[in-house]
């Protein structure tokens, strides 16, 4: 895990990657159309996110001295809604947070597949010695429920409705559910 931690980047560097990819689309990148939207969503989250004092106390009561390693990409809708809030929250709590870019090396995400897929974001809760304590992702429970509803009822709950409902939820929730769920895994 140390190898992956050493290859990971800060949240600020992650935002710089997002800005660069939005402003300078790469030939052959299938995600070019999503970088600008992801960047807008992340910036909106950063403007509206506030560290909840009760949630911070809940984490502090667990005496967690480990680190947070997030496997992500700036084009991902789920990641753009949760990574900024999770990063800011755990940084405020005094835990080091780093981001590993999934598409640059699939060997890490391949250890944490979701139903056989490389779904992101994946939050690795690391002990102080960088062993994996627990894993969260790729979306909060409510988002998983919306996905299940979509997969079971695509005729009555079309993809556009699912995406809209998910983004409305993310905009209103501002990462609170993801943070709470991660704390419960510590």
Note the pLDDT tens digit of each residue in 120-153.
999 999 999 999 999 999 999 999 999 999 999 9
Q: Is the pLDDT of residue 28 over 90?
A: no
The CATH class of 2-138+175-185 is: alpha beta
pLDDT score, position 112: 97
pLDDT score, position 136: 98
Q: How far apart are CA 70 and CA 50, in angstroms?
A: 20
CA 113 to chain centroid, in Å, comes to: 15
Check residue 99 and give left, alpha or beta (phi > 0: left; psi -120 to 50: alpha).
Answer: beta
pLDDT score, position 180: 97
Q: Is the pLDDT of residue 30 over 90?
A: no
Determine the average pLDDT of the residues in 2-24: 96
Tell me the pLDDT tens digit for each residue of 60-115: 999 999 999 999 999 999 999 999 999 999 999 999 999 999 999 999 999 999 99
What are the boundaries of each domain within the chain? 2-138+175-185
């Amino acid at each position: 895990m140390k190898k992956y931690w050493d290859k990971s980047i800060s949240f600020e560097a992650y935002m710089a990657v997002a800005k660069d990819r939005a402003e300078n689309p790469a030939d052959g990148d299938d995600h070019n159309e999503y970088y600008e939207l992801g960047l807008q969503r992340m910036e909106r989250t950063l403007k509206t996110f506030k560290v909840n004092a009760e949630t911070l106390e809940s984490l502090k009561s667990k005496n967690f001295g480990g680190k947070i390693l997030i496997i992500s990409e700036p084009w991902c809708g789920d990641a753009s809604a949760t990574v900024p809030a999770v990063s800011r929250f755990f940084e405020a709590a005094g835990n080091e947070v780093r981001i590993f870019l999934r598409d640059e090396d699939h060997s890490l995400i391949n250890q944490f597949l979701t139903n056989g897929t490389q779904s992101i974001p994946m939050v690795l809760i690391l002990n102080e010695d960088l062993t994996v304590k627990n894993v969260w992702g790729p979306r909060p429970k409510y988002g998983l429920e919306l996905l299940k509803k979509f997969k079971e009822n695509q005729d009555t709950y079309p993809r556009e409705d699912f995406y809209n409902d998910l983004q409305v939820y993310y905009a209103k929730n501002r990462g609170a559910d993801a943070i709470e769920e991660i704390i419960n895994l510590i």
